[in-house]
Structure 1
Amino acid sequence: MTESSIPIRALPKARQRSRPNRLKWFSYISLGILSNAAIFGLAFFVLEQIPRTYTSKAAAIIPGVGSQGSVQLPGVGQASSNTGDKSPYGYLLKVDPRENYQYIAMSEVVLKEAAAAVKTSVKDFEEFAKPRVSLDRGTTIIEFEADGKSKLEAQRNTRAFYEALVKRIDDLRVEESSRQDNKTLLALDSANSNLKKAQTKLSQFKKKSLLKISEQIKNLSEEVERLRVERANLLAQQQAATSGLTQLEANLRLSTDQAADALMLQDDEVFKKLWQNYSDISANLTILNTQWTPNSPQVINLKAKKQAALEALLARSQQLLGKRMNVQRLDNLNLGLDAQTGRANLAQVLINQRAQQQGLTGQVNTLAEQIAQLESRLQTLIQEQLTLTELEREVQISEAIFTAKSAQLNVNKSDHASAYPTLQLLVEPNLPKEPVGNTKKTVILGAVALSLLMTTGLVILAWEKPSSKTDAPKDSTKDSTPVLQPES
């Protein structure tokens, strides 16, 4: 066979490039699809591997309504308690109790109680539930938060956290109440002991006291005053009688005793005869003395008779008066008292006046003694009244203190809430609608962004034109037709 050349016409340039372009686009599209699938597959894998976290929230409030209680103690005062002034957000309170509750909420006791409620350990509860307390400034609201792997778990953790705090607050309040009550009971026992002692002292004093009724002093005072008035009247009468007596004694020139003696002697007939005899002898002797010398037998004889009459007279007067008498005393009696001169009547008046004066004096003295005795008794009763009043006052004060301490057990029950105000659940723990954070969105947005970035890069690479060396290959025979020569 002879060799022969077969002329083959060259293909157009566009047709020569179409096949490589299609391959290039196909490869880029395939690469883009695989890359996007890998990106979104990885994103969904990450979303599946990252655990979801839900947060449940609750809110509580501290009620600000105070209460007031008081017990009136007659004669002493009143015991009162006003928790309105001890309101957790009152003007007098410097510290917000919510801050205390925030501290208590994060204590180990509360966390342990909450962990036990959800049947987990304290470490796991702190790590996964992450309980939190936040304060809303300007209000009395406390917010509670807790996380969970599911909606129900988050709600359960929040409720357990809140209830554990409430239980701890109740325990602290009971502890404070018990401490205060024990303190009050000790004071109450002491007050009761003092009351019994005061009552015993009062009872013993009343048994031995002269004061039996409260009107006793009043009645005795009235009696003393009446006796004083009566004594004053008698004293005036006594002074009048004494004045009259003094005047009569001056007129008669006799004292009352002398007048009484004279009247007694004058009333005795024997004494009268002896006196008359003595007077007659004395008169005769006076006459004889003028006629005879003193030594004459007649004068001497008459003097002897006079002496005998005098002795008989003195003996009789001494017998009547009961006291020794002599001539001088008889002369002082001024025995010239007779009915004719009226001196006897005056002497009798003098004696009567003297008796009246003595009677009045006796009455005055008797009243004075009675008044002195009553005044002494009155002073004793007054002193006993003071002691009784003091003892009754001690009993009253002891009773008041005992009553106050008894009332304090009830009145101060409201005060215990002032140290640990009651929490009132305002918003129940909610059931969260979606997990917390933007993890899902972040992963998806990252995947989309990466996909867009990679797709854009591939498109740019696919549209890139070939270089001049590639697009214009060297050819000396520009218009020559390529000839395919078969092998020989």
Structure 2
Amino acid sequence: MGTAIKIPTAWDRFRGHVYRILRWPYITTGAMGYAFTFLLVALYLAQSPKFKSEMDLVLPGTGSSSNVSLNEVGQVVSQTSAPFGAGGFNPRVNYKEMLSSRGVLKRAAEKTNLPLAKFGEPKIKLTEQTSIISISITGTSSDQSQLKAWALYEALQDELDHLRADEVARRDASIKNVLAEYRERTNFARGEIVDFQQRALLVSKDQMDQLISTVAQINEKQLYVQSELVELEDYIQQLSLDLQVSPRLAGKALMLQSDPEFRGYIAELSQATTQLSEFRSRWGNKHPKVIAETGRVNVAKASLIQRGGELSGVEATNLFTTLHLDNNPKRAQLFADLIDSFARKQGKVSELQDLKRSHLHLTDQLKVYAREVAELDRLQKEFDLAEAVYTSAAARLEANKADVFASYPVVQMLTTPSFPIQQTSPNPLIAIAAGLFGVFFITFGLIVLWQRKALIQLLLKRD
């Protein structure tokens, strides 16, 4: 019998091809590596074009300080440290994390009407020894990349505004609670002062000062009146010795001198006495005219004594008849001065007594004021302290409201988002360079594997 000829099937042919390929593994591996490299390059070049927009932000904060002085209350000092102070945090790092945070990216995506997944994440670079933040973000077109950069910047500003407002609100809430307590304490201290003023004689410390001034003036006035009184007493005493008459008698004498009826009797007595002397020089005592004039003189004397007794007593009448004030005007003036000085002395005595009574009364009142002013001063100090604390706290609250950049420094646009002209990805030059680089390394690796025995022997011979 002849041998049957076996016809190879399709499976046999496939196995034969695989066997032949496995006989050349380096060629197979190289072909697969080249194909994979070309595939990666093709996929890279097949990507949709991307455009990159760049911008720079800067934090110009250098710290600030303000000092507010409130008259008779106190001072309020508001100080903001520089954000880049030694030992402090660097706000650029915080802002970098904020730019990459989900909240900022979501807000920026909403501004561009893009889903958060398609908006992408920006690339952020912090330049050393500066306060600059460099940001770049890509888009499918030049307009979109620039729009996304602007949206990212606005989203950062919105987030900062929200954080600052939240900080101020929380700080205000805590301070307002404290202010309410301070206000209650201030009102209580003010009420204590009002209650004390209603039940006390003293309303303000000015009354105490005025009373002390009044007492001092009264003391000074007493010394002045006493000196005047001593001067008047010496003058009256010396004048009484010179005139040989007391002020009381001098006054009565002047009163008699001013009486018309008494003066008429004086004139009648003087005229009768003169006529009697003339008649006696001519005739004897028994002469009828002498007897008549003697009777006239006696009647005038009796009338004079009677009138003087009615006015001031017999002592003053006898004194006036011997003084003859009408014939001595200067002596009459001295009488008048004596009476005037005595009257002024009595006035000074009364004035001194009134001053002493006033001084005693004001001294007693001053003792009461001294006790009350101490209590009023204590209440006033408590009120001033409460008011100062309340006012300072309120001023600090307002100062903190004005300083909104203390925790989150202001950030400014240093360079506006750029408008890219050329696409940044995919880049043909990068694709070609990557492909050539991949082919070179695959080829180099295959050669090393193919000639590994020869290379190993060469290395062993060198050793």
1:200 alignment partner, one of 191, 201, 225: 191
Aligned to 2:101: 107
State the shift of 1:46 in Å. Answer: 5.6
Q: In the TM superposition, what whole-angstrom CA distance separates every residue of 1:311-354 from its partner, at most 9, and x where no partner exists?
A: xxxxxxxxxxxxxxxxxxxxxxxxxxxxxxxxxxxxxxxxxxxx
State the shift of 1:173 in Å. Answer: 0.5
Q: Which amino acid aligns with 1:51?
A: S
SS in structure 2 of the partner of residue 138 of structure 1: coil
Aligned to 1:442: 430
1:89 alignment partner, one of 84, 90, 108: 84
Aligned to 1:399: 387
Q: In the TM superposition, what whole-angstrom CA distance separates every residue of 1:152-211 from its partner, at most 9, and x where no partner exists?
A: 222222222222122111100010111122223223332322222222211121111111
Q: Which amino acid aligns with 2:77?
A: S
Q: In the TM superposition, what whole-angstrom CA distance separates every residue of 1:29-88 from its partner, at most 9, and x where no partner exists?
A: xxxxxxxxxxxx9999667523322221111111225444332123342102122xx121
SS in structure 2 of the partner of residue 60 of structure 1: strand
The share of aligned pairs that are identical, in percent, is 28
Q: Which amino acid aligns with 2:47?
A: I
State the shift of 1:219 in Å. Answer: 5.2
Q: How does 1:225-240 map to 2 (within 5 A)?
A: none
Q: In the TM superposition, what whole-angstrom CA distance separates every residue of 1:388-427 from its partner, at most 9, and x where no partner exists?
A: 1222223333333333233223321243311011111111
5+ residue gaps, structure 1, are 1-40, 233-365, 452-488
- Partner Cα separation in structure 2 for residue 450 and residue 209 of structure 1: 103
Conserved? CA contact 1:184–1:408, under 8 Å: no
CA gap 1:212/1:134 in 2 versus in 1, 3 angstroms = same
Aligned to 1:56: 53
SS in structure 2 of the partner of residue 210 of structure 1: coil
Q: Which amino acid aligns with 1:178?
A: A
Conserved? CA contact 1:71–1:404, under 8 Å: no
SS in structure 2 of the partner of residue 443 of structure 1: helix
Aligned to 2:366: 378
- Partner Cα separation in structure 1 for residue 124 and residue 182 of structure 2: 46
2:140 alignment partner, one of 138, 149, 159: 149
Q: Which amino acid aligns with 1:390?
A: R
- Partner Cα separation in structure 1 for residue 115 and residue 430 of structure 2: 32
Conserved? CA contact 2:138–2:145, under 8 Å: yes
The answer to which of 182-191 and 54-63 deviates more is 182-191
CA gap 1:180/1:377 in 2 versus in 1, 3 angstroms = same
Conserved? CA contact 1:220–1:378, under 8 Å: yes
Aligned to 2:327: none
CA gap 1:392/1:63 in 2 versus in 1, 3 angstroms = same
Is 1:79 the counterpart of 2:76 in the alignment? yes
- Partner Cα separation in structure 2 for residue 50 and residue 227 of structure 1: 109
Aligned to 1:432: 420
SS in structure 1 of the partner of residue 135 of structure 2: strand
Conserved? CA contact 1:56–1:431, under 8 Å: yes
State the shift of 1:98 in Å. Answer: 0.9
Is 1:190 the counterpart of 2:181 in the alignment? yes
RMSD over equivalenced CA pairs, Å = 4.1
State the shift of 1:440 in Å. Answer: 0.8
Is 1:179 the counterpart of 2:174 in the alignment? no
CA gap 1:119/1:221 in 2 versus in 1, 3 angstroms = closer
Conserved? CA contact 2:215–2:359, under 8 Å: yes
Conserved? CA contact 1:43–1:444, under 8 Å: no
SS in structure 2 of the partner of residue 397 of structure 1: helix
5+ residue gaps, structure 2, are 1-37, 224-353, 440-463
CA gap 1:90/1:144 in 2 versus in 1, 3 angstroms = same
State the shift of 1:134 in Å. Answer: 1.9
- Partner Cα separation in structure 1 for residue 65 and residue 435 of structure 2: 66
CA gap 1:384/1:450 in 2 versus in 1, 3 angstroms = closer
CA gap 1:185/1:49 in 2 versus in 1, 3 angstroms = same
- Partner Cα separation in structure 2 for residue 449 and residue 76 of structure 1: 78
- Number of residue-to-residue matches in the alignment: 282
- Partner Cα separation in structure 2 for residue 189 and residue 181 of structure 1: 12
- Partner Cα separation in structure 1 for residue 52 and residue 221 of structure 2: 103
Q: How does 1:206-355 map to 2 (within 5 A)?
A: 206-212=197-203, 214-218=205-209, 220-221=211-212
The answer to which of 427-436 and 438-447 deviates more is 438-447
Task: Give me the TM-score of the superposition, normalised by structure 2.
Answer: 0.51
- Partner Cα separation in structure 1 for residue 213 and residue 161 of structure 2: 67
Task: Give me the TM-score of the superposition, normalised by structure 1.
Answer: 0.49
SS in structure 1 of the partner of residue 54 of structure 2: strand
Q: Which amino acid aligns with 1:139?
A: T
Q: Which amino acid aligns with 2:46?
A: Q
2:122 alignment partner, one of 125, 131, 134: 131
SS in structure 1 of the partner of residue 409 of structure 2: coil
1:163 alignment partner, one of 154, 178, 181: 154
Aligned to 1:267: none
- Partner Cα separation in structure 1 for residue 366 and residue 135 of structure 2: 79
Aligned to 1:238: none
Conserved? CA contact 1:55–1:432, under 8 Å: yes
Conserved? CA contact 2:49–2:426, under 8 Å: no
